[in-house]
């Protein structure tokens, strides 16, 4: 993973002069990138909680679709909390599978920090106006990953500081989802995990959150099993989603 994140804000100054005989600076308009070759699907969102940090993993499946060649730049914005570390990998998806092998480390991708989404990058997760990373998926890596089944997966990992607990010992994080300005991505599975001792997390809940979100409880799996969940939670794949929705995960554990 990369080390602590630092951002440099480039300052572009365009001189505009008034008066006869002084040419005006030409404004360059960058064309938006072409559509992605297929609509991505969030095959898994995993939240691995510990006493001093939280590891958030997005696994995003993308079919070869209309891909005709070239590199893809993909925009992943941060949530309300800046990550301590960030990395991205591309993985193959086996024929007939809906997600990559959890034991496959994949191929690392280069990512660059930015204060907002550049015009050349496809929006993938989160907001364009917020800080994040541009993930570079080069054509050779795209072709290698899709060779087996025509489908690849992107694994995006972020390490966040553990949130403060309230008086009941509850902690909550907000996780960015996609796709800004387009059709919201289907979420197939949400998973809560912990490497702390069994029973450290006593209860947990997940729901969509945002200005227009439907806040019913979402179902998820837990590792280890035994975490108490909200009854009558619905499958995330059946939830009504909007492009402005995020995912809020709350858990109760002692300090």
- Asked if residues 171 and 163 have their Cβ atoms less than 8 Å apart, the reply is yes
- Of the candidates 254, 251, 189, 255, the one whose C-alpha atom is nearest the C-alpha of residue 226 is 251
pLDDT at residue 224, rounded to an integer: 85
* Extents of the domains making up the chain: 41-252
Structure tokens at 26: 């030409």
The pLDDT tens digits for 96-105 are 999 999 999 9
For residue 21, name the pLDDT band (cuts at 50, 70, 90).
very low
14, pLDDT greater than 90: no
The DSSP output letter for 142 is H
Structure tokens at 106: 């994949």
Sheet holding 170-175, edge to edge: 170-175, 246-252, 203-209
pLDDT at residue 31, rounded to an integer: 67
168, pLDDT greater than 50: yes
150, pLDDT greater than 80: yes
Range in 63-72, 127-136, 221-230 with the lowest mean pLDDT: 221-230
Rg (CA), the chain: 20
Report the alpha-carbon distance of residue 180 to residue 58 in Å, rounded.
16
- Taking residues 187-210, what's their average pLDDT? 93
Query: pTM score, two decimals?
Result: 0.85
**Residues of the chain with pLDDT > 70: what percent?**
87
Give 108-112 contacts, CB < 8 A, sequence gap 24+. 109/135, 109/136, 109/137, 109/141, 109/154, 110/135, 110/136, 111/2, 111/76, 111/86, 111/87, 111/135, 111/136, 112/136
Instruction: Return the bridge partners of 88, or none.
Output: 156
134, pLDDT greater than 90: yes
């Amino acid at each position: 993973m990369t080390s602590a994140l630092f951002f440099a804000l480039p300052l572009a100054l365009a001189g505009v002069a008034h008066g006869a005989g002084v040419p005006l600076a030409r404004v360059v308009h960058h064309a938006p990138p072409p559509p992605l070759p297929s609509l991505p699907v969030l095959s898994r969102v995993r939240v691995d909680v510990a006493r001093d940090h939280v590891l958030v993993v997005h696994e995003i499946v993308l079919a070869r679709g209309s891909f005709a060649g070239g590199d893809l730049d993909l925009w992943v914005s941060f949530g309300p909390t800046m990550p301590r570390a960030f990395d991205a990998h591309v993985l193959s998806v086996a024929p007939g599978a809906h997600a990559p092998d959890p034991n496959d480390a994949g191929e690392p991708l280069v990512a660059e920090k930015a204060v907002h989404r550049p015009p050349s990058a496809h929006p993938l997760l989160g907001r364009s106006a917020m800080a994040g990373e541009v993930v570079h998926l080069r054509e050779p890596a795209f072709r290698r990953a899709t060779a087996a089944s025509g489908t690849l997966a992107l694994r995006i990992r972020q390490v966040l500081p553990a949130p403060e607990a309230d008086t009941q010992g509850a902690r909550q994080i907000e996780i960015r989802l996609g796709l800004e300005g387009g059709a919201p991505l289907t979420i197939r599975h949400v998973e809560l995990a912990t490497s702390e001792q069994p029973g450290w997390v006593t209860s947990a809940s997940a729901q969509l959150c945002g200005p227009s979100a439907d806040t019913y409880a979402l179902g998820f799996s837990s590792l280890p099993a035994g975490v108490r969940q909200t009854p009558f939670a619905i499958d995330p794949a059946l939830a009504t989603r909007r492009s402005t929705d995020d995912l809020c995960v709350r858990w109760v554990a002692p300090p």
